[in-house]
Structure 1
């Protein structure tokens, strides 16, 4: 239970270092609760449910942080595409509040033979049926070279996408067309379109991708971002996407770090941050504070869209207190809507995992995180698809 004595003791101890910040935030939130808030989305024609989700993403930041896990419902360390599967649920008894998924194989040239695409659609619908939040990244292959997302060998990819009628432009649009078809047919049990937070071109601050800092100029990246959003909204009439930008910030950063290659307030709905900070707790905590302040300034919800420590080890030694030390405590008192761990790869005996699974040595510590009131899982969520009180979304 989340009100256990152990939990209360943990919260007391973990909040000592940020009591003044929490008091300030609580006073501010109390004052704001009497005021009506108007939010503005990129897509003014977004569906009612999409606008409702957007309002709840803003609203929940004052209540706590939703815990998420990439591909959690699709596969785990020891299983693949099993109905009801979830490494997180196996450990704590509840599903993550946020389900993260990759849209690339739905979109690019792998779409015709991807064995998991039907399961991707299935688990998205299952997450929506439980009232959870869906967020999608996109490791698209390189449309010019035919390589993967990490193929940054040619710095003209974005340029050629932006040349109307070029072979690369035609290919890229065909990929967006497949995403549009998928989103326009992604419906819940009542026949309503399922909203998805979509973060194309994630970690654009890094050099690894064909859209990243080593292969595009600032102008090219911004134009590519705007082109993609305009095409989906205006040309293909997709109205159930919330657009999230997600720079990567592992070390101590600043507001300017989060605004690197910012495409403009009219082209961003959600301010994400990918953070592979490892054990740099002070940097993570400071960056979370900066993210929350930027969210308030821009009047846009925010969240940690990727994080984690591979194998949950430091220098070859299991870090069994990771969940309280590096995730729960830094998030205490911060106005951040979500924190999403990277995936647990299906790999028997493998080491590519970022969340606990049944039998993992950090499981008991994870349950402490689960028990803290400010960490929200599936059963803790309000109705995320009904408009939040006193909030209007344009």
Structure 2
């Protein structure tokens, strides 16, 4: 266990094997805080998780990895495996999955939906945090998530009674059925940080900036939250927004097409900044400040460099400590989630963003893991019991 209070983190620097940057001195924080969820009927355990996402931010950040329990660099759907665990001996604190194939027209053909359910249950049994995005196919054209050929798709979804509206509601119905039957070993619904319509600042997705107006995106977000929580009685979702910021940007960019404080629970940020650590540090600083202003927990919801390579295309041996830990340490965010390691047993490509045992950065990842500021599965407090000093409405 290496879960420390801020004071313990500072003391630990004197004996830590990791050469960690100095954490800036902080003003004492108010121990009592009241947070508000978009869903006033959120389950007790969902509110408890939310309280801990807030409280944890002052302690360090949880490491997460997309699809880490489902497949890895050279394995596929093998229970208990994890590329992260095979490097550092511990599972990620955050398990990220994709709900798209549960929801859209691939729901009957996907070979991984059973494994998505299985791994969510396994992660929850260990006390880990689960987050989900949704690379949904285009419900109007039949194309994929990146089919932005028709700018009326969201407009059609929002047109009550239209063919696309009816179809999309069926997709949301499937999501509601899945999460309303997602229960832990005690029969309690498992909370999920749900991150729909991610990277909406960009133009490549059918819900993104090229295919929607500001009003359409905001209405679409609100429609989704209202339909799930009110029409389908889903009460175990924490709704996370996640604009993409790669270069240095103002905090206002994090509020691009903001649906309203009452419709957002978690402020995320996707960041594919490469080795521009100044950009990451600046944007994370703004993210943490906005979190305090809005009284909503925050985190880097997707990041990484494909192949974990440096600017010369070589494996980046010190990537984890220099490009992730250094720019983020001391800033109050709850999580950092790396994108996936594609199953590639012949090692023919570079589509991986997380650690794996054969990469030159594996030893550096162990140093990253041993930092008193990074939180993995075994470091987690009880994330599903209400945090002291936090009230969630």
TM-score (norm 2): 0.95
Q: Which SS does the other structure have where 1:313 is aligned?
A: coil
Alpha-carbon distance in structure 1 between the residues aligned to 2:105 and 2:329? 43
| d(CA) in 1 for partners of 2:295, 2:390 | 12
Choose from 233, 240, 244 the match for 1:237.
233
Do structure 1's residue 298 and structure 2's residue 330 form an aligned pair?
no
CA distance in 2, matches of 1:92, 1:4: 20
Contact 1:205/1:260 (8 A) holds in 2: yes
Equivalent pair of 1:221/1:261 in contact (CA under 8 Å): yes
Verify: 1:337 aligned to 2:349, yes or no.
no
The total of aligned residue pairs comes to 381
Matched residue, 1:141: 137
Paired position in structure 1 for 2:19: 10
Q: Which residue matches 1:81?
A: 77
Q: Are the equivalent residues in 2 in contact too, given 1:7–1:368 (CA < 8 A)?
A: no
- Give the RMSD, CA atoms, in angstroms: 1.2
Deviation at 1:351, TM superposition (A): 1.1
Aligned pairs for 1:76-115 (under 5 A) are 76-115=72-111
**Hey, which of these two has a bigger chunk of helix by percent?**
1
Deviation at 1:316, TM superposition (A): 1.7
Deviations 1:339-389 (A, max 9, x none): 000000001212100012112110000011000011000000000000000
Bigger CA drift: 373-382 or 352-361?
352-361
Instruction: State how far apart, in whole Å, the 2-side matches of 1:385 and 1:183 are.
Output: 17
Measure how far apart 1:28 and its partner are.
2.7
What does residue 51 of structure 2 align with? 55
Looking at structure 1, the residues matched to 80 and 15 of structure 2 have their Cα atoms a distance apart, in angstroms, of: 30
Q: Secondary structure at the match of 2:140?
A: coil
List, as ranges, runs of 4+ consecutive aligned residues in structure 1 with deviation greater than 4 Å.
Answer: 1-6
Q: Could you list the runs of 5+ residues in structure 2 that have no partner in the other structure? A: 3-11
Q: Describe the SS at the equivalent of 1:317.
A: coil
CA-CA distance at 1:6 after TM superposition: 7.1
Report deviation, 1:9. 5.1
Who is 2:366 aligned against? 367
In structure 2, the partner of 1:327 is 324
2:315 pairs with one of 309, 315, 318: 318
* Residue correspondence of structure 1 range 1-394 to structure 2 within 5 A: 7-8=16-17, 10-11=19-20, 14-15=21-22, 19=23, 22-24=24-26, 27-29=27-29, 32-33=30-31, 36-314=32-310, 315-348=312-345, 349=347, 350-394=349-393
CA distance in 1, matches of 2:25, 2:14: 22
* Residue pair 1:246, 1:272 contacting (<8 A) in 2 also: yes
TM-score by length of structure 1 reads 0.95
Q: Is the Cα contact below 8 Å between 2:319 and 2:361 reproduced in 1?
A: yes
**Partner Cα distance (1:182, 1:318) in 2:** 39
Q: Secondary structure at the match of 1:310?
A: coil
Cα shift at 1:330:
0.9
